[in-house]
Structures are given as structure tokens and as C-alpha cells.
Amino acid sequence: MSLIAEMTAHPPNAGRSAVAAFEEEFAAHRRAARRAWGIGTAIFLILFALTAWLGDFFDVRQVTNAEGEREWRWVIAAGIPRLGEYIAQTIPVLRWESLGADFAEWFWRWRVWLDLLLETVLIAFMATTLGVIGGFILSFPASRNLAPNAWVLWLSRRYLEIARTVPELVWALIFVFCFGVGPMAGVLAIGLHAAGALGKLYSEVNENIDMGPLEGVKAAGGSWFDQIRYGAVPQVLPNIVSYTLLRFEINVRSSSIIGYVGAGGLGQEFRTAMSFQEYTDLSALFLIILVTVIVIDFASEKLRHRIIGMEGSPA
């Protein structure tokens, strides 16, 4: 609004009422905001109380204190010193004068662990491969703009949803029962879960593509498969590669714990160390997994930048 129009719309003598109107409106706004804030806080507090009750957050138990009397203590407060003790036990004895020997003592099972670490990474690799194949194939019928018809769309979307909603560990429990203990169950479990997650991401990429090339292929007489192959795939490839690398990192983390239910990899050593009270083994395993995850994250970051650099920036 220009100044002239402003002057004609609100002559100066009407200033007071305009200010009053503004003040009123502002006060109304403040009231509404305060009310919304109050309602939000109330809902939050109710939820907090309910979940704290369900989750035993303020649980109290009887403990014996130093004087030998029974007293009630809040579980969290009582547990923190125990947590400190537990973590202190996992720290190995490293003396400066016998550092090499102490390290050898700390990583005494290094041959076994190295073997299992390789297995862990290979499980992640195989699972990612399976996940990419499954997710890639299903992502095209699962995208709204590419699906040949409605029921194919519905079916493939439901399948992907179920595959990614059920956690890897649950699939692993089922597959360990079916295929026996070992890395095969882990590969299938993580692969199935990854296929669900990747299929969704890929189909979101597919829904954002330019439909022009597909129409071109169709005009030249291509079938649905031709349209996908020559019209859609070249457009989504860079994104698919970077999502796949990200998923590989996630799968390495998953495969390092999936052994806990008997599906291969380093996770089974965690379980053994816990049950045999080998506390220093736990910290050694932590370190191994930590270093592996950091190295793989770093390497795939580098690879991703190279690929994105080659393909142009991802859409």
C-alpha cells in the first residue's frame, strides 16, 4: 500500500481508534496463544504422568543401606552408582611398563573377533545387496506415478510397509528358527528389513521424476518395462546409489548386534561376554565396533561425494 493510499484510508484523526483496534486484536492474539500453550502443556503433563506410571519411571524399591537397615530408594538414583561400577569394571588394566602385554591380554580373543568382524561386514554387504535388489524392483510398482494399476500399487506398498515395520531382530528370531543358527538368518532378516526401507525411499525418489522421458519411450512404442528402464532408471540412479551407501552403514550397525539372537556376526560375542562376566571383553568389542563403524562411515562418505561429483548433484 502506497503512502497516499494509506493516508486516505486512515486519516490522521482516526489514529486513536486504529491503535485501539490494534491493541484489542493483539490482546486477543496473546490470549489465544496463551490458551494454546496451556492446553499443550496440560496434554504433555498428562502423557508424561501416564507414561511414567507405565514405564516404572518413579519406581522405588527396598535396598539395604550401609548401616544394615532397609530403606526405600528411587531406582534410578540407586542404579547410577551401580552403573558407574559396571562401566569401571569394563575398563582394562593398562600399565605403562607392560603396555604390549596388557593390550594382548585385553584383546586376547582377537583372532576370533577379527573373523567375526569380517562376517559382520559381509552380512551387511549381502543384506544390502538383497535389500537393493528387492527394494529396487518393488519401488517402481510402489510409486504412484509409475504403477501399472491400482492393486499392484497397493500390494507392493503394503509388502514394503510390513517388511520395514517389523524390526530386523524380530525377522531374525523367525529366520533363526527356520534356517538354523548362523549368518544366513541374519542376511535374510536384515535384507528383508532393508528392502522395505529402501523400497520406500526409492519410490519417493521415483515420484519426483520428470515424466517426459517416459512419454518419449512410450511414444516410440516402448512397453511398461522399457519406459521404466530407459525413462525412469537413468534419472533415479544417483539418488539410489547414495541411499544405498547410507543403508549399508545402518546395516553394519544392525549386523553387529543381530548375533545376540543367534544370527551371526559379532553380536554373539556380546552375549557370551555378558553371560561369562568377561567385563573387559565388552569394552574391547565396543572399541572394535566403534572403529569399524567410523571407518565405514568415513569411506562411504568419500565414495558418495565422488559418485555425486561424477553424476552431477543429486536431484
Partner 1 sequence: MTQPTDARIAAAMTAHPRAFRDPAPVRIRKIALWVLFIGLIAWCLWDFNFSPERIWTGLGRLGRVASFMFPPHIWTTWEDWAEILNGLGETLSMAFLGTVLGAVVAFPLAFLGAKNINRIFWLRMSARRGYDVIRAFETLILALIFIRAFGLGPLAGILAIAVSEIGTFAKLFSEALENTSRRPVEGVVASGGSRLQSIRYGILPQVAPVYLSVILYNFESNVRSGTILGIVGAGGIGFLLSDRISAYRWDEAWSIIFLIIAMVYLIDGLSARVRTRLIGSLERTA
DSSP at 60: E
Instruction: For 159-196, give one letter per residue: b (16+ CB within 10 A) or e.
Output: bbeebbeeebbebbeebbeeeeeebbbbbbbbbbbbbb
> Is residue 252 part of the contact set for partner 1 (CB under 8 A)?
no
Burial (Cβ within 10 Å: 0-12, 13-18, ≥19) of residue 236: buried
Binders of partner 1 among residues 120 to 139 (CB under 8 A) are 122-123, 125-126, 129
Min dist. Cβ of residue 56 to partner 1 (A): 5
The residue among 230, 242, 251, 233 whose CA lies nearest residue 188 is 251
> Is residue 184 part of the contact set for partner 1 (CB under 8 A)?
yes
C-alpha span between 153 and 298 (Å, rounded): 37
Binders of partner 1 among residues 289 to 308 (CB under 8 A) are 290, 293-294
The residue among 247, 242, 258, 268 whose CA lies nearest residue 167 is 258
> Is residue 76 part of the contact set for partner 1 (CB under 8 A)?
yes
Kind and range of the H or E element at 72? strand 70-74
The residue among 262, 240, 138, 249 whose CA lies nearest residue 189 is 262
What string marks each residue from 98 to 117 as x (binds partner 1 by CB under 8 A) or -?
A: --------------------
Q: Which is nearer to partner 1, 2 or 65 (CB)?
A: 65
> Is residue 192 part of the contact set for partner 1 (CB under 8 A)?
no
Pick the piece of the chain touching partner 1 (CB under 8 A) from 95-103, 135-143, 207-215, 256-264. Answer: 256-264
> Is residue 45 part of the contact set for partner 1 (CB under 8 A)?
no
Min dist. Cβ of residue 74 to partner 1 (A): 11
Q: Which is nearer to partner 1, 122 or 211 (CB)?
A: 122
Kind and range of the H or E element at 71? strand 70-74
DSSP at 228: I
C-alpha span between 205 and 188 (Å, rounded): 25
Among 42, 46, 80, 237, binds partner 1 (CB under 8 A): 80
> Is residue 208 part of the contact set for partner 1 (CB under 8 A)?
no
Instruction: Summarize as ranges the residues that interact with partner 1 (CB under 8 A).
Output: 33, 36, 47-48, 50-52, 54-57, 59, 75-76, 79-80, 82-83, 86-87, 119, 122-123, 125-126, 129, 161-162, 165-170, 173-175, 177-180, 182-184, 187, 253, 256-257, 260-261, 264, 270, 274, 286, 290, 293-294
